A and B are shown apart, each in its own frame.
Chain A
Amino acid sequence: MSVSIDAWLAEQGWRSFPFQRQVWDEIARGRSGLLHSSTGSGKTLAIWLGALATLREAIGGEARQHGGKAVAPPLTVLWITPMRALAADTLRALTRPMAAFCPGWTIGLRSGDTSSAQRAAQDRRLPTVLVTTPESLSLLLSRADAREQLGQVRLAVVDEWHELMGNKRGVQTQLALARLRRFRAERGAGSDAALMTWGLSATLGNLDEALRTLLGTAAKGAEGAATDAVLVHGETDKTLVIDTLLPATAERFAWAGHMGLRMLPQVVEAIEASASCLVFTNMRSQAERWYRALLEARPDWAGVLALHHGSLDREVREWVELGLKEGRVKAAVCTSSLDLGVDFLPVDRVLQIGSAKGVARLVQRAGRSGHAPGRPSRITLVPTHSLELVEAAAARAAVRAGRIEARHSPREPLDVLVQHLVTVALGGGFEPDALLAEVRGTVAYEALDDANWRWALDFVRQGGASLTAYPDYHRVVPDEHGVWRVPDARLARRHRVNIGTIVSDASISVQYLGGGKLGSVEESFIARLRPGDAFMFSGRLLELVRVEQMTALVRRATAGRAALPRWNGGRMPLSSTLADAVLRELAEADAGRFDSPEMACVRPLIDIQRRWSGVPAPDVLVAETLKSREGWHLFLYPFAGRQVHLGLAGLIAWRAAQPETGTFSIALNDYGIELLSAKPIDWAERLPGLLSVPPLETLLHEVLASLNATELARRRFREIARIAGLIFQSHPGERRSNRQLQASATLFFEVFQQHDPGNLLLAQAERELLTQELDVRRLAEALGRMATQTLQVHALRKPTPLAFPLMVERFREKLSNESLGDRIARMVSELERSAGGEAVGTAREPAERALAVFAKRDSPQFAIATVQESLALEARGEAPPARRRARGERARRGR
């Protein structure tokens, strides 16, 4: 009666792959491991059939008789998935084989979407198999009976591990897995019954590290001879096609701008030619915009063209996903919300609007197409500006050469640790020494020193290291047996509501007057609208009627000017792997070799760059200077990627602000940086001195000093404050409660700085900047490399193709060591002069002039921008000039 794997597969008409058979063997031996492949499927079945066959032997596949009733075995398998949307699909995929192998088991889902009724049923008895998210798993760990309930888990599977391991959600997962291992060990189970952990991952540049991060430091690595853990390569034969939609006339193609609607005709044609395709954009606002533009170009696609992003209501998203699976949807415009998930068999092509930002991401998105046997995966890049043509050529070269990015676990994030301490204190309590050993068993905290551990304990116990700093404050308190617990039920409730490491801005749900839910947008966006204003959301034109209780009530708008919401998601940096590849392509082009169609297309632009200035190359560092009405500009192109540029720009500005004071506006992208000074500065003369390479220690000192002169640490602190439980997230549809507890992260930052400067969360903000955002080691490498390059300084008359995107960049950093009074005095006198008729230039003007030259009014891109005139809030120069002026004036009025 117990079916074998082979028999079951034969019944389905399937056959097994060698990598699947390898995984089945490893699981049968009780081993843990990581299964990875860049494309292809069958990973889920590889783990699941092995798990069913093995665990059936261990605990039986039938229901147990208990007091005359059939009772399913207790919670035995946890299947952790990074996305809620994925959880439902995973549940379906796991259910069918389970019914055949282990008919007596039960399976359930637990995520933020789980209804309270289901939750209550699960609280009475957890299913044998639970599909869940890292956040919901932490919530389970905070139950008073966590030890008893979760101690029976034999197997934990982490899906899409590559998505998790590089961020704090991954750290949360590492801590949870350490807890599960410990529960298992406490039950005195022998090594044969220790927790098995399996990860599923796309291909990464550092798979051994990914395996170690998943399994913890106690596991024997994959490289050694004594292999407890295995890396399994799950490759199937799959052809990958990477091509590019080329603009009709390259010389008139935009130099900057990120919506990319200029390519609309080519995209329409590509969609027409494919059976079903996914159109990836990098931002939700861009997805909204493209969806509207496509519908306007092809009204006959209404009903078969879909929109999918993370802010849409779950029902809307599920409808789209189902349509894709059943082949009813011709094209879905989407964001990273569809990066992961079950396979959409009918999809035969993926379009990527704008840069994919990384080789791994490009390959992953490509893999969303061509799932039918024998069909290739095909991704077509749609450049939004000329330089992305170079990126496209570079990305293909990198894939061909197998250069794929590595991901690393964050190191010792104290905010996540503080949250975990409270979680564990709720989940049965902890004894510090034992918990320290457990926490140090994770890769993220393997080097956690005693002082930081002590501080984290003090922080949850009494607010800080000194008893007097936080009178009357307690969160976690040791009981008479030395077990640390949370005595206050109110605090316990609040902690459970705020578990998690995903930080988003306060959002407000969007709903029709009649009740239909559409999704959610950021509160700050709605705050800018007045009743009667129109905005674009969920692919529709909506009119704001009123806002009540964190809900925006809307109706359909007939026509008119619509604002486009902007979601403050982080901007994905170009990986250094891809940035290096771009520099190599440029060097080839400078040598006169334009081999790929993309490079041939972009040739006129590179010729302009060469004529007006110079072309960067691995051995040439190009700098450009320009005086505009806005001030004194320096452009520099190290091609070291956004992260390094952020630190580099701060460092150079800091050096330039010595010995006299200065204030600099900093713009950066993946290719270069711009420093803009409001006061005169001779960049050409100063530059060589600004690029010196000091010893690492001096450099660290300088970077710290430059940090203090920017707002960066303060911004970083926002996320830390939220995760450490200082501020509460408001949830859509929720009544604003805890009003007396509303305080912004900025306020916390200031009050800590003033009254508790030793607070380690402040130190963490600084350290995260240094290690994650700025990466001082890579900064030193970049400076070192720049020192070996020949420096070419060109004085410009107008911005070059490389300078232009920086000049119109609106996300800017500021570095200043001038006194506040001096700065205010300067701004006030500038404003008074401009009010007196003496015009003060804005950065927009030269940018607009340049835009007018290179993106003519009659071009399709510009035509659409004008028709759909919107508040637009895009990062770069595609908002129509009239609108921009209005915005400038509002800003000048000081509101």
Chain B
Amino acid sequence: MTPDIDAPAGALATTLAGERVWLLPERALWWPAARTVFVADVHLGKAASFRALGQPVPAGTTRDNLDRLSALVDGVRAARLVVLGDFLHAAAARQAGVLDPAHRWRERHAGLDCLLIRGNHDSHAGDPPATLRFELADEPHRLGPFAACHHPRRVAQAYVLAGHLHPAMTLHGRAHERQRLPCFCEVEGLMILPAFGAFTGTSVEGLPPGARCHAVGGGAVWADPHP
């Protein structure tokens, strides 16, 4: 894992299944050879679902999510976006307050190929409207040496990219210092991406044993310091 000259700022380079990829501090995985960027767990419309059910969450998270997606796609000049599940949070997210900005976002990136691997939230929320022009697939979905999934799992003869867990880790330092950070979680044949969406939360529980955790914070991805 050595830095390249044309490295995206703060990104961590690694080689998975023989392919050079970048772990981006934007909580995304960039595969330059295929001009493809992967994100997991966007949970678009989560705040709107809360409001619809009577919980006061201020508006602004949808725009925040979409603005960050735009910056991500523009920053690496991606040709394809793969969402590893949970694009929409719930059926209640299928409303104008969420879908209108989503359509405007799609127009801005009209030439971008978008692929959604259906996750557990998507199966409740339903597929995004056809007008958003997302290609849809069930896991595992093969892309070169990779298998795009939502749930972390094993797929024979493929390296799995997954989400679902919203992984996080706690860093410890001298003077009792601790900091909880979202992370990329890597085990043999599997990379679990941190959740992309705002207002989604993280979990340190349930991560695979022996995983290497690369923390995301302060504008960078940090290689797991443990041997």
Contacts and interface: CB of A to CB of B under 8 A. Distances in A.
Contact of A464 (B58, B97, B174): B58
A831 to B, nearest CB: 4
B36 interface: no
Interface string A750-772: 11101110010000000000000
Given A824-B181, A826-B173, A470 B56 contact: yes
B131 interface: no
Contacts of B204: 895
Contact of B51 (A471, A746, A891, A893): A471
Contact of A755 (B61, B169, B171): B61
B6 interface: no
Contact of A820 (B48, B50, B217, B224): B217
B205 A527 contact: yes
Contacts of B170: 891, 894-895
Nearest to A744: B201
A637 interface: no
Contact of A665 (B171, B176, B222, B224): B176
Interface stretch (A369-377, A488-496, A540-548): A488-496
Interface in B42-56: 46-56
B129 interface: no
Interface string B40-81: 000000111111111111111100100000000000000000
Nearest to A474: B54
Contacts of A494: 54
Given A824-B171, A824-B215, A740 B58 contact: no
Nearest to B223: A828
A764 to B, nearest CB: 15
A470 B57 contact: yes
B26 to A, nearest CB: 15
A143 interface: no
A468 B181 CA distance: 32
Given A463-B51, A472-B48, A840-B174, A754 B225 contact: no
A256 B50 CA distance: 47
B177 A814 contact: yes
A757 B5 CA distance: 40
Q: What are the 9 tightest A-B residue pairs by CB atom distance, in nearest-first order? A: A821-B218, A755-B60, A827-B173, A463-B56, A678-B175, A756-B58, A831-B225, A820-B218, A665-B176
A827 to B, nearest CB: 4
A821 B220 contact: yes
Given A469-B58, A830-B173, 17 more contacts: A463-B51, A472-B48, A473-B55, A473-B56, A490-B53, A491-B54, A630-B174, A630-B176, A676-B175, A678-B173, A743-B199, A743-B201, A744-B201, A823-B218, A824-B222, A825-B222, A891-B172
Q: Which of A664, A665, A893 has the most CB of B within 10 A?
A: A893
Nearest to B25: A821
Which residue, of B59, B64, B97, B215, has the highest number of chain A Cβ atoms within 10 A?
Answer: B59
B123 to A, nearest CB: 13
A463 B227 CA distance: 49
A84 B135 CA distance: 57
A825 B181 CA distance: 13
A747 B215 contact: no
14 contacts: A491-B54, A664-B175, A678-B177, A743-B57, A751-B61, A754-B64, A754-B198, A755-B59, A820-B217, A824-B171, A831-B225, A894-B183, A894-B226, A895-B204
B217 A471 contact: no
Contacts of B164: none
A683 interface: no
B198 A751 contact: yes
A669 interface: no
A452 to B, nearest CB: 17
Dominant SS at the B interface?
A: loop
Contact of B175 (A490, A630, A744, A750): A630
Nearest to A473: B51
Contact of A894 (B49, B89, B171): B171
A883 interface: no
A475 B51 CA distance: 10
Contacts of A823: 173, 177, 179, 218
A829 B201 CA distance: 27
Which of A459, A676, A740, A754 has most B Cβ within 10 Å?
A740
B84 interface: no
B99 interface: no
A827 B58 contact: no
A678 B226 contact: no
A652 interface: no
A819 B50 contact: no
B207 interface: yes
Contacts of A676: 175-176
Contacts of B50: 740-741, 743
Contact of A751 (B48, B58, B171, B227): B58
A316 to B, nearest CB: 30
A439 B205 CA distance: 44
Given A821-B218, A823-B177, A840-B174, A488 B54 contact: yes
Interface in A651-710: 663-665, 676-678
Contact of A471 (B53, B59, B64, B218): B59
Nearest to B207: A895
Contacts of B183: 894
A839 B222 CA distance: 21
A751 B53 contact: no
A828 B172 CA distance: 9
A631 interface: yes
A223 interface: no
B46 to A, nearest CB: 8
A379 to B, nearest CB: 36
Contacts of A747: 199-201
A751 B183 CA distance: 20
A475 B54 contact: yes
Interface in B137-184: 169-179, 181, 183
B51 A828 contact: no
Q: Looking at A490, A751, A754, which has the most chain B CB atoms within 10 Å of its CB?
A: A751
Contact of A892 (B61, B64, B95, B172): B172
Contacts of A831: 171-173, 225-226
A629 to B, nearest CB: 8
B24 interface: no
A468 B58 CA distance: 9
B225 A835 contact: yes
A618 B6 CA distance: 65
Nearest to A809: B176
Interface string A455-467: 0000100011000
B28 interface: no
A406 interface: no
Contacts of A488: 54
A652 B46 CA distance: 41
Interface in A501-537: 527
B42 to A, nearest CB: 15
B171 A828 contact: yes
B215 to A, nearest CB: 7
A859 B55 CA distance: 56
A741 to B, nearest CB: 6
B227 to A, nearest CB: 5
A527 B181 CA distance: 20
Contacts of B172: 827, 831, 891-892
A812 interface: yes
B126 interface: no
B190 interface: no
A751 B51 CA distance: 13
Contacts of B181: 824
A843 B178 CA distance: 13
A838 interface: no
B82 interface: no
B37 interface: no
Nearest to A486: B54
A819 B218 contact: yes
A250 interface: no
